[in-house]
């Protein structure tokens, strides 16, 4: 089959392209921004890339065009596909029909932690010798790539609640039909497409409706929104994970037991009893919950708990999830994807498990659509109170003024209109032993490497 992908350089659509190529299809694609590292990865797979969305780049003998959710009516390539009556599908629809069909799908959903939990789960299956397929919205260090076709039957997919395509406004995850599903948490996000929290709950419930009766839902037992959503109807087996054990939990509930101060050791409890221990290099209660959910999901696929915990010892983490980008003269620069108040708070909590006596400088770019709309501005300042100082980037076109939030902050916070000024401020204030935590869901003008290069130049 000859496939052309519109919007091929996004993480998800790039993964679809890799899977299609590995499945034996002839793949080409186009995007508005064709640049490394995704362009390099795709070209190494033998996939032809074109810059821009032009009808002339779509092969005359194409069998199907896969359309990314960033595409809209009026786009030249989209209009050509519709006018010429060329067969087309969305990325999730194509994945469901051509890859997930007849496989044991393990889908990880939730507002936060999808990428990390899916990566842990795929690694557990790999460690157990099962060679799973996967499609993840990040690059797990253990694999070095975001997607692969793998062997039957297992396939791990990060199950996103964002909409599918301009012609399909359902959430992506309704296409995946998992046998094992993880529900990490549920909060209001993606305000550009969801009117309110109830609208998101509705989509999550559509997802729940697709899970078979003998399937398993691993749910966050501490999340009230997940509980109320499942009260709308649940027809599958469930297993709950909790941050700590409570005598009121059900007999088959999982929880976290004794934990070391640096988070590098914790006990795994089932029905309040220690069934395994984890020694690893990750930090933060959110990552322990991610690990617990992955352990429960892997067990459903036949992986013993002890083996999953062994796998976690060798789990290398995810790029852009509290990733150390460099250490210069005792100053550590971290990169993190956090762009929601809950994620910001959890990331700073994790930082407290690894920090020494130095200060933590949090650098935040409010880049997501929801952030740019100001939906979370009332809770934003509370999320960074564990930092010693905050540097906020106010880009052009932001729909609200960050000064409104700074006045509410008990932690010193400064607003900058350029990344150059942020770097200058940090250089004047950081010292050996300090930590710089940069949080954004975008490239942030490559501030991480520029900062490291400047620190090295100043101290050379």
Per-residue pLDDT of the chain (460 residues; tens, 9 = 90+): 999 999 998 889 999 999 999 999 999 999 997 766 678 878 888 999 999 999 999 999 999 999 999 999 999 999 999 999 999 999 999 999 999 998 999 999 998 889 999 999 999 999 999 999 999 987 888 998 889 999 999 999 999 988 999 999 999 999 999 999 999 989 867 666 778 889 999 999 999 999 999 999 999 999 999 999 999 999 999 999 998 887 776 656 999 999 998 888 999 999 889 999 999 988 788 889 999 999 999 999 999 999 999 999 999 877 777 788 888 888 889 888 777 787 888 888 877 777 778 888 989 887 766 666 566 667 677 788 888 888 888 877 777 777 778 788 888 888 888 899 999 999 989 988 888 989 887 778 888 889 888 988 877 6
pLDDT the model gives residue 168: 96
Question: Is it true that 2-92 and 323-458 share their CATH fold?
Answer: no
- The token duo for 82 is 């519709």
Structure tokens at 325: 């980008």
Say what the pLDDT of residue 162 is.
87
- Whether the CA torsion 285, 290, 296, 302 is positive or negative: it is negative
Q: Angle CA(456)–CA(437)–CA(121) in degrees, nearest 5?
A: 115
Per-residue pLDDT at 372:
61
pLDDT at 364: 87
Q: Domain 2-92: which CATH class? A: alpha beta
Residue with tokens 């997501």: 368
pLDDT reported for residue 376:
63
Domain spans of the chain? 2-92, 102-313, 323-458
CATH superfamily, with its number, for domain 323-458: Mur ligase, C-terminal domain (3.90.190.20)
Q: Tell me, what's the pLDDT at 249?
A: 66
**What pairs with residue 220 in β-bridges?**
241
Find where tokens 């999901």 sit: 297
The closest of 359, 358, 340 to 412, measured between CA atoms, is 359
Determine how many CB atoms are found less than 10 A away from the CB of residue 330.
Answer: 13
Task: Specify the fold of 102-313.
Answer: 3.40.1190
Q: Measured between alpha carbons, how far is 111 from 200 in angstroms, rounded to an integer?
A: 10
d(CA 332, CA 200) in angstroms, rounded, equals 37
Phi, psi (rounded to 5 degrees) for 293: -65, -40
Bridge partners (DSSP) of residue 445 are: none
Q: Which pTM was predicted?
A: 0.83
| Residue 254, pLDDT score | 94
Q: Count of CB atoms within 10 A of residue 421's CB?
A: 14
Three-state DSSP string of the chain: CEEEEECCCCHHHHHHHHHHHHCCCEEEEEECCCCCCHHHHHHHCCCEEEECCCHHHCCCCCCEEEECCCCCCCCHHHHHHHHCCCCEEEHHHHHHHHHHCCCEEEEEECCCCHHHHHHHHHHHHHHCCCCCEEECCCCECCCCCCEECCCCCEEEEECCCCEEECCEEEEHHHHCCCCEEEECCCCCCCCCCCCCHHHHHHHHHHHHHCCCCCCEEEEECCCHHHHHHHCCCCCCEEEEEECCCCCCCCCCCEEEEEECCCCCEEEEEECCEEEEEEECCCCCHHHHHHHHHHHHHHHHCCCCHHHHHHHHHCCCCECCCCEEEEEECCEEEEEECCCCHHHHHHHHHHHHHHCCCCCEEEEECCCCHHHHCCCCHHHHHHHCCCCCEEEEECCCCCCCCCHHHHCCCCCCEEEECCHHHHHHHHHHHCCCCCEEEEECCCCHHHHHHHHHHHHHHHCC
The residues, ordered by sequence, that sit 6+ positions from 7 with a Cβ below 8 Å of its Cβ are 13, 29, 30, 31, 67, 68, 69, 70, 71
| pLDDT for the residue 85 | 97
């Amino acid at each position: 089959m000859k496939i052309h992908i519109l919007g091929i350089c996004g993480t998800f659509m790039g993964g679809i392209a890799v899977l299609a190529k590995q499945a034996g299809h002839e793949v080409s694609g186009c995007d508005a921004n064709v640049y490394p590292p995704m362009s390099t990865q795709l070209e190494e797979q033998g996939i032809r890339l074109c810059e821009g969305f032009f009808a002339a780049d779509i092969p005359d003998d194409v069998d199907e065009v896969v359309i990314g959710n960033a595409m809209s009516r009026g786009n030249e390539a989209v209009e050509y596909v519709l006018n010429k009556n060329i067969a087309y599908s969305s990325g999730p629809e194509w994945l469901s029909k051509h890859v997930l069909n007849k496989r044991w799908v393990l889908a990880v959903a939730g507002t936060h932690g999808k990428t990390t939990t899916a990566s842990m789960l795929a690694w557990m299956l790999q460690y157990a010798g099962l060679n799973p397929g996967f499609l993840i919205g990040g690059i797990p260090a253990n694999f070095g790539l975001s997607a692969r076709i793998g062997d039957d039957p297992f396939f791990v997919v990060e199950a996103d609640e964002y909409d599918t395509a301009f012609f399909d406004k359902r959430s992506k995850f309704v296409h995946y039909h998992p046998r094992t599903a993880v529900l990490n948490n549920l909060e209001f996000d993606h305000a550009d497409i969801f009117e309110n929290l109830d609208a998101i709950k509705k989509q999550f419930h559509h997802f729940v409706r697709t899970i078979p009766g003998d399937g398993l839902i691993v749910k966050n037992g501490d999340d009230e929104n997940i509980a109320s959503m499942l009260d709308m109807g649940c027809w599958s087996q469930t297993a709950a994970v909790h941050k700590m054990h409570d005598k009121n939990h059900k007999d088959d509930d999982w929880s976290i037991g004794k934990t070391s101060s640096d988070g590098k050791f914790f006990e795994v409890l089932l029905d309040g009893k220690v069934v395994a221990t984890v020694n690893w290099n990750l930090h933060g209660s959110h990552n322990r919950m991610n690990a617990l959910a992955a352990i429960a999901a892997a067990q459903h696929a036949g992986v013993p708990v002890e083996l999953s915990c062994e796998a976690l010892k060798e789990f290398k983490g995810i790029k852009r999830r509290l990733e150390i980008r460099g250490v210069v003269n005792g100053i550590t620069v971290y990169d993190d994807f956090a762009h929601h108040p809950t994620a910001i708070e959890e990331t700073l909590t994790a930082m407290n498990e690894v920090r020494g006596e130095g200060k933590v400088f949090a650098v935040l770019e409010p880049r997501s659509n929801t952030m740019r709309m100001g939906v979370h501005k009332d809770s934003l300042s509370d999320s960074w109170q564990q930092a010693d100082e905050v540097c906020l980037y106010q880009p052009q076109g932001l729909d609200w003024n960050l000064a409104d939030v700074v006045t509410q902050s008990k932690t010193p916070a400064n607003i900058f209109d350029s990344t150059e000024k942020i770097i200058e401020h940090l250089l004047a204030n950081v010292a050996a032993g300090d930590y710089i935590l940069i949080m954004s869901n975008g490239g942030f003008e490559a501030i991480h490497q520029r900062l490291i290069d400047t620190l090295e130049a100043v101290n050379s």
